[in-house]
Amino acid sequence: MEEGKAITKTGDDSLGSWKKGKGGFRASAFIFVQSGLDNMGFVANMATLVLYFLYVMHFDVATASNTLTDFMGSTFLLTLVGGFISDTYLSRFTTCLIFGSIEVLGLAMLTIEAHSKHLHPDPRGKSTCIHGGTATYFYATLCLLALGYGGVREGPTEAGALATFFNYLTLCTTAGATIGVTAIVWVSMNKGWHWGFLMATIASFISFVVLAMGKPFYHLQRPGDSPLVRIWQVVLLAIKNRKLPLPENSAYLYEIGDKESSALAVAKIAHTDQFRFLDKAAILLKESKPEPWKVCTVTQVEEVKVLTRMLPILASTIIMNTCMAQLQTFSVQQGQLMEPHLGTLKVPAPSIPVIPLLFMSILIPIYEFIFVPFARKLTGHPSGITQLQRVGVGLVLSVISMAVAGIVEVKRRNEFNKTPPHVISLFWLSLQYGIFGIADMFTLVGLMEFFYKEAPVGMRSLSTSFTWLSLSFGYFLSSIFVNIINAVTEKISPSKQGWLHGLNINKNNVNLFYWFLAVLSTLNFGVYLLAASWYKYKTNDPADSEMELGATDSMPLIASNKLTTDQSTQNDL
């Protein structure tokens, strides 16, 4: 497989805007601050909500876990909604402020719920059962939070950011997450749930005020055609024209002229022979006019082909994100039954993720300033190692993390079930968290850079959203696995109880679930090796490099960035 390269340069005026004071590091600085503050409350809530569901909403072990993973899956899936709106109707800046307001409202409602006992279910009632006004308020709050969080985190659009920008952004979000899982989590566990949620609400509100303050420095993105609409046009027309014969010469497929593509700032892509079924969308019938829903251009078809080539890579990372879900659910529940003291300091179980976050805070600068220059000399690759190699390292480490998690759970449960019980230290969990934190550092940045660099300019917004889609599918898959594992093991186990049943995790077999994920992750890595070896990176093209001067990229929204002398980026909001 070989991707067609861009053959026509766009007419983007972003470079001129940058010279006039738009973009640059000043604009990116607002994004970094906003991301750090917003991530503070986001990560703190992700670490503690499973306990909130257990102890305040009185769900059982499996239901508390599934409620959180379904919520997280919905959050990341809804990034597509924010991306669609910002691409089609509003600027990314306006979209982020709108969804940010929804997020703050959801957090405020969660704070009220935690404070008001009238909104809590009766602890004497049936576990997992909430109804009436309590259920309506609870699920309305989660829906608003998922919509707000998802819309703010919608994927990057057409951007020119390279690994350096992603590394800096990851560093800032990691710093915010570190404060969240220490300060905010400590307040939630020791002073009251409502105080922790209130801190998250205030941090998010300030983050969007900071975002708004940076408006004079942003290069505001003009809404246009959504990549999702262009993909849908190709698929529908390919199906509609499925009985039509393809011309022997691809030159007879419909494409706009060079002058028109230059005027529309569209980079044309040369035709390739892979997935030829999609070429039927570019057949222009003699009696038809070249209208969007009657014919697609070759470039439009090739954009869909490129995304199709990326899908096996995306699919290969879903299992890793399923493993990540366990660190936010079952591992937190384990931690509640472990010795929380480090000397005289009592550490809340949801704060244990601070260990991988600290690892990442240290390792990201080391990776950027030491490893990359060293590896670059050996490999000649600008990023030291390829994006797919970086993702592969993360997948291997995720396998190790789940295997270690199973071993730690066996030790914890065996010691706890002794007579008298012996409670092991909470910091045994740091082994699985630390390994997975490093895995996430490799995979997350590697994926974002891969999707950005390999996608055609017109599809970069959607392709970088694939990172969030992988997270979404991973969390949903976690809920599915929990339900299936429980249903199957109830039937085959002598005790007629599932691995993850009931309220008492000490009578469960969470270790077997971890090892199941380790085996599944090993098989998944084999699939990834096949997908990565099949994939061929696109060739560098001067036109594409010039277009990077006027593009956008950032994480939850877009600003402009110029971080190094040899790798300049510019992002539009």
Residues 267 and 9 sit within 8 Å (Cβ to Cβ): yes
Total domains in the fold of the chain: 2
Provide the token pair at 8: 């026509």
Q: Is 568 helix (H, G, I), strand (E, B) or coil?
A: strand
* 493 and 370 together in one domain: yes
- Stated as kind and residue range, the H or E segment containing 345 is strand 345-346
Look at residue 16 in the predicted model and tell me its pLDDT.
39
Which residue among 303, 325, 341 closes a domain?
A: 303
Per-residue pLDDT of 396-451, as tens digits, reads 999 999 999 999 999 998 888 887 888 888 888 888 888 888 888 888 778 877 88
Provide the token pair at 474: 């991973």
Residue 10 counted as domain residue = no
- Smallest Cα–Cα separation from 46: which of 444, 351, 477, 447? 351
* 283 and 314 together in one domain: no
Q: Is 448 helix (H, G, I), strand (E, B) or coil?
A: helix
How far apart are the C-alpha atoms of 206 and 567, rounded to whole Å?
31
How far apart are the C-alpha atoms of 402 and 143, rounded to whole Å?
30
Q: Is 528 helix (H, G, I), strand (E, B) or coil?
A: helix
Quote the strand ranges of 6-93, DSSP E: none
- Smallest Cα–Cα separation from 502: which of 65, 37, 107, 190? 65
* 399 and 286 together in one domain: no
- What's the CATH code of the domain at 531? 1.20.1250.20
Residue 439 counted as domain residue = yes
- Smallest Cα–Cα separation from 470: which of 357, 330, 322? 322
Mean predicted confidence (pLDDT) in 120-134: 71
Rg of the chain, C-alpha, whole Å: 25
pLDDT higher than 60, residue 265 = no
Mean predicted confidence (pLDDT) in 32-44: 88
How far apart are the C-alpha atoms of 367 and 195, rounded to whole Å?
37
* 463 and 391 together in one domain: yes
* 61 and 138 together in one domain: yes
Of residues 230 and 548, the one with the higher pLDDT is 230
Of residues 534 and 141, the one with the higher pLDDT is 141
Residue 4 counted as domain residue = no
In sequence order, the β-bridge partners of residue 72 are none
SS3 content of the chain, % helix, strand, coil (to 5): 70, 0, 30
Provide the token pair at 486: 């429980």
Residue 192 counted as domain residue = yes
Residues 6+ apart with CB under 8 A from 139: none
pLDDT higher than 60, residue 12 = no
Find the domain containing 240 and state its range: 227-303
* 336 and 288 together in one domain: no
Which residue among 284, 303, 322 closes a domain?
A: 303
Residue 14 counted as domain residue = no
* 310 and 458 together in one domain: yes
* 309 and 280 together in one domain: no
Q: Which band of pLDDT confidence, cut at 50, 70 and 90, is reported for residue 122?
A: confident
* 389 and 528 together in one domain: yes
Provide the token pair at 547: 């277009």
- Main-chain dihedrals φ then ψ at residue 554, nearest 5 degrees: -175, 180
Q: Look-up: residue for tokens 């000649």?
A: 380
* 368 and 493 together in one domain: yes
Residue 5 counted as domain residue = no
Q: Look-up: residue for tokens 């699919």?
A: 315
How far apart are the C-alpha atoms of 107 and 113, rounded to whole Å?
10
Provide the token pair at 377: 């000399």
What is the distance of C-alpha 374 from the center of its chain? 29
Which residue among 303, 337, 361 closes a domain?
A: 303
* 179 and 296 together in one domain: no
* 510 and 460 together in one domain: yes
How far apart are the C-alpha atoms of 148 and 362, rounded to whole Å?
30
Residues 6+ apart with CB under 8 A from 16: none
Mean predicted confidence (pLDDT) in 175-196: 89
Per-residue pLDDT of 353-404, as tens digits, reads 787 777 777 777 788 788 888 888 888 877 778 888 889 999 999 999 999 9
Q: Look-up: residue for tokens 């009436």?
A: 132
- Stated as kind and residue range, the H or E segment containing 341 is strand 341-342
- pTM, whole model, 2 decimals? 0.78
Quote the strand ranges of 432-572, DSSP E: 561-562, 568-569
How far, CA to CA in Å, does 429 sit from each of 132, 328, 435?
A: 38, 12, 10
Residue 186 counted as domain residue = yes
Mean predicted confidence (pLDDT) in 296-302: 86
Q: Which band of pLDDT confidence, cut at 50, 70 and 90, is reported for residue 282?
A: confident
How far, CA to CA in Å, does 114 sit from each of 147, 239, 386?
A: 20, 51, 46
> 135-142 contacts: CB < 8 A, separation 24 or more?
137/109, 137/113, 138/57, 138/113, 140/109, 141/106, 141/109, 141/110, 141/113, 142/71, 142/106
Residue 13 counted as domain residue = no
Listed in sequence order, the DSSP H helices in 89-162 are: 92-115, 132-152
* DSSP assignment of 144-181: HHHHHHHHHTPPP-S----HHHHHHHHHHHHHHHHHII
Count of CB atoms situated within 10 Å of the CB of 562: 19
Per-residue pLDDT of 458-488, as tens digits, reads 677 677 677 788 889 999 998 898 888 888 8
Residues 159 and 569 sit within 8 Å (Cβ to Cβ): yes
How far apart are the C-alpha atoms of 398 and 401, rounded to whole Å?
5
